[in-house]
Structure 1
Amino acid sequence: MTDIKFTIDDNSNALKFQQLVDAILDAISRDQLKAGEMLPSVNQIMKESNLSRDTVFKAYAELKKRGIVESVPNRGYFVTKKITKVFLFLDTFKAYKEVLYGSFLKHLPKNIGVDLHFHHYNINMFEKIVLESLGKYSKYVIMSFDHVKIPEILQKIPADQLLIIDWKIHSKENQSVVYQDFGKPVYNCLKSNLEKIRQYNEFIFYYPEFTYHSKDSIVYFRKFCEDFSIKHSVIFEEDQFRIKKGALYFLVSDRTLAGLLDQCAEKGYEPGREVGVISYNETPMKKYVKNGISVISTDFELMGQKAAEFVTTGSFINFEVPTTLKLRSSL
C-alpha cells in the first residue's frame, strides 16, 4: 500500500470529495499511484486529511464508477488503470472552438481527463498558467499566438508532451503540431471560385484591429487579386467598413460579419445579390444564416480528432489540416 498523502484545502470552493477525487487522479497521472496498487484505507485518509467517512466513501465511489479503481472485499481499493490528465489551452471559446473541443473529447478514451484553460492572447496570463501547470499533466495541447515570448515559454514543456494546435507559429522541429495554413490554401480556395469572384466590382478584405488572425491571409489575398487582375483593397478601420453595392467582402471576424449583415438589413441588400460575403472559420450556424454564408475554413472536427490521437498514442505528429471553401448563397 502506498504511503501517499492527499492535501485538502478547507478554503477552496471545490467540494472536499471532489478535491480528493482530483488529487487521486493527479497522483495516478503522475505515476505516484500505479495500476494494481492499493489506495490508502478510508480510515487512513480520514485521519491524515481530516475528512469524514462519508466524504472519503463518496470520492472512492466516484472513482469506482469511472472505472479508475475497484474494491476488493476485506482488502480495500485498488487502481485499475492508468489515467492521463491533459492540459488544453485555447485562445478563446468561439463557436468553431466548441467544434474542436467537442471533437477532442469525443475521440479521447474515458480514462483521460481534460483541464480546459483560455489565454485570451494575454501573454502574462499565458505564461502564468503554463508555468503553474508544469509537471501536473502528461500531455499539453496548446493553441499558440504571435508573441516573441511564446517560444521561450513553450520550451519549458518537454517536447514529447507538447502539441501545438491551430497556428504553427513559433513551433520547433522537435515539437508536434496539428495546424492550419492561413496563406496558400486561401489563395487556392479563391482561385477555384475565380469566376464567381469576377462577378463583383471589387474585392474587399476587412482586417479589423481587434483580430489576431494570421496576416498571411492578407498576403495571399493580395497575391490572388494581383495575379488575376481583381480590383481589391484591404481595410483596417471600422469607419472604412461601409458596404458598397456590387462589392465582395472577405471577413475574418464573426463580429464584422454581424456588422455587414446589419448594414445589409439597413440598405435592403441581399447577401449574394447586391453584395457578396466570404467569412473565415466555419460555425454550425453559418450554413443557415441568410440562406447560407460562404466560408473558408479548416476542418476543426479533424483538428480535434488529430489532437486526441497525439494524446492517446504519444507519437510525434506534424499534420496540416486541410482548408477548403464551402460555397453557399452569399457568394
Structure 2
Amino acid sequence: MTSKKSTFKFQINDEGNVPKFRQLIDSVNHAISENRLSVGDHLPSVNQICKDYKLSRDTVFKAYTILKEQGVIDSVPNKGYFVAREIRRVFLFLDTFKAYKEVLYDAFTKNLPNNVLADVHFHHYNPEVFKRQIEESIGKYHRYVVMPFDHEEMDAVLALIPSDKLLVIDWNIYSKPGNNLLYQDFGQSVYDGLESVKHLLEKYKEMVFLYPDYTNHPIESVQYFEKFCKHNHIKHSVVTKPSQFEVRSGMAYFSVSDRMLGHFLEQCREKKLEPGTDAGIISYNETPMKKFIYKGITVITTDFQLMGSKAAEFVSGDISMQICVPTKVLIRESL
C-alpha cells in the first residue's frame, strides 16, 4: 500500500442528504483532483469499505461501477480497483442563478470532458462572499471561471488567481492585458440592437428605460440607450424607482430586469393594453420562456449557450482566450 493510499479516506456524512454511493464517488474524484490519489494507485476493496464504513455491498459496488463507467477507475481480477485517469476540478463562480445563467451552466457542463469536475459557487454581488470564496479556492482548482462585478476590491481579489488559470466571463471589468476574457458588450451592442428595430419603434411616441435601483446591470447600457435616443430625436426617460413605473399607451419600454418585465405585463393585463400594439417592450437577456410569454417577448441578448461552451473549451483545452460573444436581437410580437 502506497503512502498516498494510506492517507486516503472516504468522507462519509451519515446525517447528510447526499446518498452514500454518491459520497463515495465524490471522495474518489476529489482525492484524485487534489493529488491525494494518482493514476495507478489502488483503492480499498469492496469488503474493506463495507467493514470500515458500515456500508452495504450494493452501495459500494454501485459507486465503483459508476466510477468505472466514467473511466475514473478500473479493476483487474484478483488485484482489485485502481485509479485509471487524472481528474481536474474547475471553480465556476457566477453572480446568481437566473434562467439565462442556467443556459450558460448547462452548455458549460455538457461540453466538459468526463475527467473534469465543475464546482459552482455564487457570490450574489456580495464583495465579502466573493473575496472569501476566492481566497478559500486558491490552489485547489485546475482552472477558474469567474463572473465579476463592479466593486473597488475586485481587482485585488482577482489578482490572487494565476492569470493563466483565470477566465473572466460575461463582464469585461477589472481585466488586465493578457487576461483570458469571454464577455459580452453592454454598450455599443445595445445601441446597435436598438438601431436594428428602429422601424418598429416609430409607432411609439416615447421610449422608457426600466433600470430599477436594485439592478446590478452595467450602467453603460443606459448611456448607450440615451445616445441612441438623442441621435434619433426620440423622446426618452429612465425609470429607477419601481414604485413610479406606470405603463402608458403609446410608449415603448426597455427592461434589464425580469421583475420589471413582469410588472409591465401585469399592468398591461389590468389596463387591457396589448403588448406590441398599445405599448411595446424589449427585454434584456433571452430565457427559454420569453418566446412563449404574450406571443413572445423581443429581446436583446448575448449567446449564453456559446459563452458556456467556449468557457468549457478554455477549461479543457488549456488555451488562452479573448472573445467578445456576439449580441443579437430576437424580434417577437411584444414590439
- CA deviation profile, 1:70-111 (whole Å, cap 9, x unmatched): 001122222222222111111111111111111111211222
Matched, 1:198 2:169: no
Instruction: Decide which of 291, 295, 301 is 1:291's aligned counterpart.
Output: 295
In 1: Cα distance, 2:61 partner to 2:8 partner: 15
1:178 matched residue in structure 2? 182
Structure 1, 132-141 or 209-218: larger mean CA deviation: 132-141
Partner SS state of residue 262, structure 1? helix
Contact 1:278 1:296 in 2 (8 A): yes
Structure 2 contact 94–147 (Cα < 8 Å) conserved: yes
TM-score, normalised to structure 2, is 0.91
Within 1, Cα distance between the matches of 2:47 and 2:292?
58
Shift of 1:15: 5.0
1:2 alignment partner in structure 2 = 2
Q: Contact 2:32–2:86 (CA<8 Å) still a contact in 1?
A: yes
Deviation (angstroms), 1:160? 1.7
1:156 alignment counterpart: 160
Residue from 240, 243, 264 that aligns with 1:239: 243
Name the amino acid aligned to 2:179.
Q
How far apart in 1 are the matches of 2:89 and 2:46?
A: 27
CA drift of 1:136 comes to 2.0
What are the within-5 Å matches in structure 2 for residues 314-329 of structure 1? Answer: 314-329=318-333
Amino acid at match of 2:8: F
Q: Which amino acid aligns with 1:108?
A: L
1:66 is the counterpart of 2:70: yes
* Equivalent AA in structure 1 for residue 197 of structure 2: N
Kept in 2: contact 1:83–1:112 (CA 8 A): yes
CA RMSD of aligned residues (A): 2.1
The unaligned stretches of length 5 or more in structure 1 are none
- CA gap of 1:208–1:308, structure 2 versus 1, over 3 A, is same
Distance of 1:77 and 1:86 partners within structure 2: 26
> 1:1-331 maps to which residues of 2 (within 5 A)?
2-4=2-4, 5-7=7-9, 8=11, 13=16, 14=18, 17-35=21-39, 37-42=40-45, 46=49, 50-52=52-54, 54=57, 57-331=61-335
In structure 2, distance between residues paired with 1:17 and 1:292: 44
Q: CA deviation at 1:46?
A: 4.8
Contact 2:43 2:82 in 1 (8 A): no
Q: Secondary structure at the match of 1:82?
A: coil
Give the partner amino acid of 1:6: F
Residues 272-306 of structure 1 deviation map (CA, whole Å, 9 limit, x = unaligned): 11101000000111111111111000001100110
**Residue range with higher mean Cα deviation, 127-136 or 232-241:** 127-136
Go from structure 1 to structure 2 and tell me whether the alpha carbon gap of 1:225 and 1:3 turns closer, same or farther (over 3 Å shift).
Answer: same
Q: Distance in 2 between matches of 1:58 and 1:155?
A: 42
Rounded to whole Å, the distance in 2 between the matches of 1:43 and 1:107 is 32
TM (norm. structure 1) is 0.92
Amino acid paired to 1:297: T
Using a 3 Å threshold, how does the CA distance of structure 1 residues 150 and 50 change in structure 2: closer, same or farther?
farther
User: What is the SS of the residue equivalent to 1:128?
Assistant: helix
- Aligned partners of 2:210 and 2:323: how far apart in 1? 29
Q: What is the Cα deviation at residue 44 of structure 1?
A: 11
Counterparts of 1:84 and 1:300, CA distance in 2: 24
Q: CA deviation at 1:154?
A: 1.5
Moved more, 22-31 or 241-250: 22-31
User: Cα offset for 1:51?
Assistant: 2.4
AA at the equivalent of 1:41: P
Query: Secondary structure at 1:116's aligned position in 2?
Result: strand
- Contact 1:30 1:138 survives alignment (8 Å): no
Q: How many residues align?
A: 329
Instruction: Using the TM superposition, give the Cα deviation of residue 246 of structure 1 relative to its aligned residue in structure 2, in angstroms.
Output: 0.3
Change (3 A) 1:213 1:17: same
- 3-state DSSP of counterpart to 1:265: helix
3-state SS, counterpart of residue 75 of structure 2: strand
SS of 1:260's equivalent?
A: helix
C-alpha contact (below 8 Å) 1:292/1:330 kept by paired residues: yes
Change (3 A) 1:282 1:240: same
